[in-house]
Structure 1
Amino acid sequence: MNDDTIGLSRRKMLVGLGAVGVASAGAGLGTTAYFNDTETFENNTLTAGSLDLFVHVDYSEDQGSYAQYSTPSGSFINGNVVGQLDDGEVVTQEGDGLSIQVSDLKPGDSGEGEFCFSIVDNPAYMWMCGELTANDENGETEPESDDDETPDTGDLADAMEVTVSYCTPDGDGGNVIGDEIVSGSLAEVMLALQAGVPLSGDGDASASLADRPAFEGVTEPFVEGTPNIAEQCVCFTWEVPTSVGNEIQTDSVMFDFEFFAVQSRHNDGTHNPCVDETVVTAYDNDWKGQTLGNPTDGNVYTSVSFGQNQTVLSFAFADDGDGVDFLDTADYSSTNFPVAVDADADGTHDWQLIWQPNAGFPDAPFGYQPNNGGSYGAAEPLPAGFSAAKVGNTIVFGIPNSDINSTFRLLGYGSTGGEGPVAKVNDDPAVGPDFLDSSDAVEFSD
């Protein structure tokens, strides 16, 4: 709401109304006089405010002697409008957003980009989202087939190295790089972004999820032909290392970036606009009435994102800020988080995905266990196409859509080894987990 105009009431306010007596004159005739006064408050209005996000983009790439590219100066995106500044004048055109396209990619090529924000009229919580929409092989050349161990899947998403960080303009056309937000292969970074990454208005990558610093609002996106931006920007870099060989020949990737601004007034910043559904459960410090040596409070936000090629499960652990963190092995040496998944919602869990940093798993700290007719064996490497990452206090699993239905069930049971709370994600947190029967699991549906 906008507080510039305030509506009091449509009812008229009468002040000083009163009868002061009746006087008679003549036989049988009476005259009456009333003093009165009316004060009127007219045309009262309540006007809704607005929130409009402009993303200012500065992107360039270096392909050596083959090609150099950069976005036109002053490029920005506002909805489906792409624009640039031309001699201080804003020039726009309708479109489907800004597209980065690189051809003839080779080892040693790199690129970097900067995203800065004008959030017009209201301060807002910001989220960065994304998705890897294609990772294609596109056939194989003879030298590629000699080196490629995954001939049915593109290798470029795993070969590219990506870093996303906070940054601030240095005033000379460059940036001061701040805290790292997420890094890894392109596949790993896009896995994290599909789960949604909350951004902090003060550039603190360790800021808590709830009530983190918002991004300040501005009155207009441009002032005298210059972008009017919040202090914190987001920078990303990508590189194909020179150590990469023939396995990426002819391969291609496609991916999307998105930024969401959600007004900060009357919100705590925990709503994740990048995902399709979220379930919130509180840590249990009183499971079976046990006395804990190191209790702590918090919530686990279980979210599901249904993508074009994969379904992403994310578990964000939001601690209460007392310095004790559920996923920190320095606080809980035995902390772990297994997730049982009934991929077809038929009543029986099909497999488990496990995060356990001190277990010595083949894909440490992650493991996979199939349900072998009512029992789970030793942890195995993640199956082909599966992926996993820990980003800050969030654990993320990527599952190919071919391995999970659009309706499925999951059950999570985080444990701190008896020292602290448990984190249960099931339909009735008052009961314990059943890793075989999914009747008490939480069901999600696209």
Structure 2
Amino acid sequence: MTSDDNQPQLYRLSRRNVLAGLGTIGLASAGAGLGTSAFFSDEESFEDNTLTAGSLDLRVQYEASYDSDGAVQNLADSAMGTQDGTPASTFYNLDDVKPGDSGHVEFCFDIVDNPAYVWACADYSEAENGMSEPEMDVDQTPDEGELADSIEAELVYCDEDGEPIQNGEIVSGSLAEVLDAIRFGAALDGDGVPNVPGEQSPHDTPMTPQGEATYVTGACICLFWEIPYETVGNEIQTDSLSMNFEFHALQSRHNDGTTNPCLDGTTTVQYDNDWKGQTLGNPTDGSVTTDVAFGPDNVGIRFTFEDDGDGVDFLDTADYSSTNLPVVIDGDADGTHDFQLIWQPNAGFPDAPFGYQENNGGSYSATTALPAGFSAAKNGNEIVFTVPRTEISSTFRLLAYGSTGGEGPIAEVNTDPALGPDFYNSSNAVSFSE
């Protein structure tokens, strides 16, 4: 999957509590399909988090609803959280979803002992699961599911009754766009006001329910989803989708709110205008930051280009007609790169502007479309690739070599850019670990 640049009536249901361990709770719900017994399910995973001072416990309260043909089902009755990361019982099990169906999931946060900044991150994967005869007539991508792109979704701040807070939209669009937007972390505001990291309010409203310990809380978040019957048809038959949410709490004392616990690695390099040893025809200054986020299903790799504001932009084809970014991956960190992911808008790739090349014993294959399960997108000054976990181990190496075609700077993500890029040997590539 590649890309470039009426809320449903829902009802309040009973809420179930999940008690996390030290600082972090992970919540995951999986899959929906049409025309088959596909499903949503839940799995809890908890991780410890080291804090600057003190400690805190994060408790997540959640509820879910599903509306099909006007019948609202309570899907949270059997939900049970765990502290050790073992699977919880299913709380969001949907069979045979179809156009016109809708639902929601709500998450509220209680933090024991310390006010905290709360972060959310997400991951998802899709599968085609074969094709029925009606789907064959309309689906031109037999290897990829269309469900995430077909579901309309909105992630908003809401109160504990599930009512959206005014002007509290975090992100909306297709479900794919919503989940992609928080893949690398979203700083949640305790007051329900959309803000950037460092400007968000912590969850710090004190609560002392009768017979319980004092804790602090803040705004909840709600994910509303709907499959529009006006525009979605047989193309989603048999498709399935799995979603995973993870929440982190970092105490606000001694922290400024900018630390992003959803990222597993980040590195920044400056543009190089001296790489040719002579004056360039169209130089510009800036930097590129590489962020990596390991998810249960995929690894997200994001490149953010920050230009100096001189009107010349590294990624702008009007400034550099041959601008490009090849990303070379050694998926198992064995010293040999396995494949390339390429962004090059004017190269004429089959799946323009993105391409894929595989290392076949020392030579790269011709450029093809991204394989099934891979995805890529360019949004403004960001380029994002997602790679299935089956292709990347818990430690991998990455080399990126952004080029403007000779007239401008390069941007090389490497342990020692002075050595130049090696598209085969990964010994000087940057290592990232889960």
Taking structure 1 as the reference length, what is the TM-score of the superposition? Answer: 0.64
Alignment of 1:385-396 (within 5 A): 385-390=373-378, 394-396=382-384
Contact kept? 1:165, 1:177, Cα under 8 Å: no
Which residue pairs with 2:330 in the alignment?
Answer: 342
Which residue pairs with 2:245 in the alignment?
Answer: 257
Question: How far apart in 2 are the matches of 1:182 and 1:418?
Answer: 39
Number of aligned pairs?
Answer: 374
Question: How far apart in 2 are the matches of 1:77 and 1:301?
Answer: 37
**Are 1:219 and 2:206 counterparts?**
yes
Larger relative contact order (CA 8 Å, sep ≥ 6): 2
Which residue pairs with 2:121 in the alignment?
Answer: 129
Q: Structure 1 residues 206, 313: CA separation in 2 closer, same or farther (over 3 Å shift)?
A: same
Alignment of 1:47-446 (within 5 A): 49-57=54-62, 59-65=64-70, 67-69=71-73, 96=88, 99-132=91-124, 135=127, 137=129, 143-144=134-135, 155=145, 157-169=147-159, 173-181=163-171, 183-186=173-176, 189-190=178-179, 193=182, 195-201=183-189, 207=196, 211-220=198-207, 229-231=217-219, 233-242=220-229, 243-267=231-255, 269=257, 271-274=259-262, 277-284=264-271, 287-288=274-275, 293-296=283-286, 300-305=289-294, 307-308=296-297, 310=298, 312-317=299-304, 319=306, 329=316, 336-345=324-333, 347-357=335-345, 361-371=349-359, 379-390=367-378, 394-404=382-392, 408-415=396-403, 422-444=410-432
Question: How far apart in 1 are the matches of 2:267 and 2:341?
Answer: 20
Question: How far apart in 2 are the matches of 1:373 and 1:341?
Answer: 15
Q: Structure 1 residues 413, 112: CA separation in 2 closer, same or farther (over 3 Å shift)?
A: same
Aligned AA (1:295): D
Aligned AA (2:123): E
Contact kept? 1:339, 1:412, Cα under 8 Å: yes
Q: Structure 1 residues 352, 330: CA separation in 2 closer, same or farther (over 3 Å shift)?
A: closer
Contact kept? 1:130, 1:190, Cα under 8 Å: yes
Question: How far apart in 1 are the matches of 2:139 and 2:236?
Answer: 8
Question: How far apart in 1 are the matches of 2:315 and 2:115?
Answer: 32
Contact kept? 1:200, 1:212, Cα under 8 Å: no
Aligned AA (1:51): L
Question: How far apart in 2 are the matches of 1:325 and 1:53?
Answer: 46
Contact kept? 1:120, 1:220, Cα under 8 Å: no
Compute the displacement of 1:406 (Å).
5.4
Secondary structure of 2:207's partner? coil
Question: How far apart in 2 are the matches of 1:60 and 1:251?
Answer: 21
Q: Which runs of 5+ in 1 are unaligned?
A: 1-47, 82-93
Q: Structure 1 residues 372, 154: CA separation in 2 closer, same or farther (over 3 Å shift)?
A: closer
Aligned AA (2:301): S
Q: Structure 1 residues 68, 305: CA separation in 2 closer, same or farther (over 3 Å shift)?
A: same
Question: How far apart in 1 are the matches of 2:427 and 2:58?
Answer: 43
Contact kept? 2:152, 2:227, Cα under 8 Å: no
Query: For 1:118-177, what per-residue CA distance to the aligned partner results, in whole angstroms no more than 9, with x for missing partners?
Result: 44444434322233367462x6655456656666x6735345324344435599944435
Contact kept? 2:169, 2:194, Cα under 8 Å: yes
Secondary structure of 2:427's partner? coil
Contact kept? 1:164, 1:237, Cα under 8 Å: yes
Question: How far apart in 1 are the matches of 2:317 and 2:218?
Answer: 36
Secondary structure of 2:147's partner? helix
Query: For 1:194-226, what per-residue CA distance to the aligned partner results, in whole angstroms no more than 9, with x for missing partners?
Result: x4323253778783x5x353534233376999x
Question: How far apart in 2 are the matches of 1:222 and 1:388?
Answer: 47
Task: Choose 141-150 or 233-242, whichever is displaced more.
Answer: 141-150
Query: For 1:166-190, what per-residue CA distance to the aligned partner results, in whole angstroms no more than 9, with x for missing partners?
Result: 435599944435454364344x654
Aligned AA (1:108): G
Question: How far apart in 2 are the matches of 1:205 and 1:332?
Answer: 34
Question: How far apart in 1 are the matches of 2:311 and 2:227?
Answer: 38
Secondary structure of 2:419's partner? coil
Taking structure 2 as the reference length, what is the TM-score of the superposition? Answer: 0.66
Which structure would you say has the larger Rg?
Answer: 1
Question: How far apart in 2 are the matches of 1:358 and 1:178?
Answer: 39
Question: How far apart in 2 are the matches of 1:354 and 1:392?
Answer: 17
